Chains A and B, each alone.
Chain A
Amino acid sequence: MADEALFHFLHNELIHYAYKSAEQGEVENGRCITRLENMGFRVGQGLIERFTKDTARFKDELDVMKFICKDFWTSVFKKQIDNLRTNHQGIYVLQDNKFRLLTQMSAGKQYLEHAPRYLAFTCGMVRGGLSNLGVKSIVTAEVSVMPACKFQVMIQKM
Chain B
Amino acid sequence: MESPEGKPIIYTMENKPIATCAGDQNVFTALYQTLARELPREPMEWRRSYGRPPKMIHLEANFVQFKEELLPSEGNKALLTFPFLHIYWTDCCDTEVYKSSVKDDITKWQNILKNYNTVDWLIVLVDSDAKKKNKTNILPRTSIVDKIRSDFCNKQSDRCVVLSDPLKESSRSQESWNAFLNKLRTLLLMSFTKNLGKFEDDMRTLREKRTEPGWSFCEYFMVQEELAFVFEMLQQYEDALVQYDELDALFTQYVVNFGAGDGAKWLKSFCQPVRSWNGLILRKPIDMEKRDLIQKNGASLLDLRSYLFSRQCTLLIFLQRPWEVTQRALELLHNCVQELRLLEVSVPLGALDCWVFLSCLEVLQRIEGCCDRAQLESNSSHTVGLWTYATEKLKSLGYLCGLASENGPNSEDLNRTVDLLAGLGEERPETASSLQSPYKILKEALSSVETFEKHYLQQSCAAMEMYKTIGRLRSARLIGKSLAEFYMRKGDPQKAETFLQDALKIYLAEGWALPVTHTRKQLAECQKQLGQTENYLQTSSLLASDVNLTEEERKHFCQEILNFANCQDDNQVQKIILGMSTFAQLKELHFEPSSAVVHVGGILNIELSLFSHMPVAVLLENIVASVHFSIEKSNFRKATEWQGKQRKVSLGSNGIIHFQSDPPIGSPCQSNMPSLELYEMYDKSPSDNSLNSTGVICKNVHLLLRRQESVSSIEMPSAISVEDGAQSLRANNTLLQPGLNKIVFSTQAKDPGLYTLRQLVATVGRVQFVLPHIYPIVQYEIYSQEPNLKVEPLNDNLLAGIAQRVKFTLFTGHYTIRNGDALQLSNADSLIILCSAKYVATILANTGEKIKDSTLMVQSSEKVTSITLPLASAYHIVEFELEVMCHIPSSIPKSESERLTNGELYRKTKERHNPELCMVSLDQKISIDCPWSIYSTIIALTFYIPFKVKHSLLSAGKRKYIQVCLQNMSDVSFNLSDPQLKEIMKYPNVNLISMNQENQQQIFSKQNVFYLWELKWSKELPSCLQCQLSVMFSPSSDEDEPNSLKPYTHDFIMENIYTLYTIKAEIYPSLGSEHCRTGCLCSLEVSIMRIAELLETDRDEALTESDGLCTTKLMYEVVDNSSNWAVCGKSSGVISMPVAARAIHKVHMEVMPLFAGNLPFPTVRIFKYLPHHSIHMAQPDTDSLIENDTLSIDKSLDEQADSSSIRSRTSTHSASSEHKGLPMPRLQPFSIGQVFNSSAGMQVLVVPSKDDHVLEVNVT
Contacts and interface: CB of A to CB of B under 8 A. Distances in A.
Q: Do A and B bind each other?
A: yes
A4 B1095 CA distance: 111
Interface stretch (A52-60, A74-82, A115-123): A115-123
B701 A116 contact: no
Contacts of B701: 138, 154
Interface string A117-131: 101100100000000
B163 to A, nearest CB: 62
A101 interface: no
Interface residues of A, number: 24
Interface string B655-695: 00000000000000000000111111110000000111111
B698 interface: yes
Contact of B678 (A112, A123, A156): A123
Contact of A116 (B675, B680, B705): B680
A97 interface: no
Contacts of A154: 701, 705
Contacts of A157: 705, 707
Contact of B694 (A138, A143, A158): A143
B335 to A, nearest CB: 30
B695 A141 contact: yes
A34 interface: yes
B697 interface: yes
Nearest to B697: A140
A142 interface: yes
B704 interface: yes
A116 B697 CA distance: 9
A142 B707 CA distance: 26
Given A154-B701, A154-B705, A33 B695 contact: no
A123 B704 CA distance: 16
B696 interface: yes
Contacts of A138: 676, 698, 701, 704-705
A120 B696 contact: yes
Given A34-B677, A116-B681, A120-B678, A140 B693 contact: no
A83 interface: no
Contacts of B697: 140
B695 A116 contact: yes
B775 to A, nearest CB: 24
Which of B681, B692, B694, B705 is the most central at the interface, judged by chain A CB atoms within 10 Å of its CB? B694
Given A33-B679, A34-B678, A138-B676, A115 B694 contact: yes
A144 B705 contact: no
B705 A37 contact: no
B693 A33 contact: no
Contacts of B707: 156-158
Nearest to B704: A138
Q: Is the interface on chain B under 10, 10 to 19, 20 to 34, or 35 or more residues? A: 20 to 34
A142 B693 contact: yes
Interface in B244-292: none
Contacts of B677: 34
Given A34-B677, A138-B705, A113 B695 contact: no
A157 B705 CA distance: 7
Contact of B698 (A119, A140, A143, A144): A140
Interface string A33-48: 1100100000000000
A109 B690 CA distance: 10
A30 interface: yes
Interface string B1005-1024: 00000000000000000000
Interface string A94-123: 000000000000000100110111011001
B682 A113 contact: yes
Nearest to A90: B705
B705 A141 contact: no
Interface in B845-870: none
Nearest to A109: B691
A37 B678 contact: yes
Nearest to B675: A34
Nearest to A146: B694
Contact of A33 (B675, B680, B691, B692): B680
A112 B691 contact: yes
Interface in B703-722: 704-705, 707
Given A140-B696, A156-B707, 8 more contacts: A30-B679, A34-B677, A112-B691, A112-B694, A138-B676, A142-B694, A143-B693, A157-B705
Kindly list the 5 A-B residue pairs having the minimum CB-CB distance in the complex, ordered from nearest: A142-B695, A144-B693, A116-B680, A141-B696, A33-B678
Interface of B: 675-682, 690-698, 701, 704-705, 707
27 contacts: A30-B679, A33-B679, A33-B696, A34-B675, A34-B677, A34-B678, A37-B696, A112-B694, A116-B694, A116-B696, A117-B680, A119-B696, A120-B696, A123-B696, A138-B701, A138-B704, A141-B695, A142-B681, A142-B693, A142-B695, A143-B693, A143-B695, A144-B692, A144-B693, A154-B701, A157-B705, A158-B707
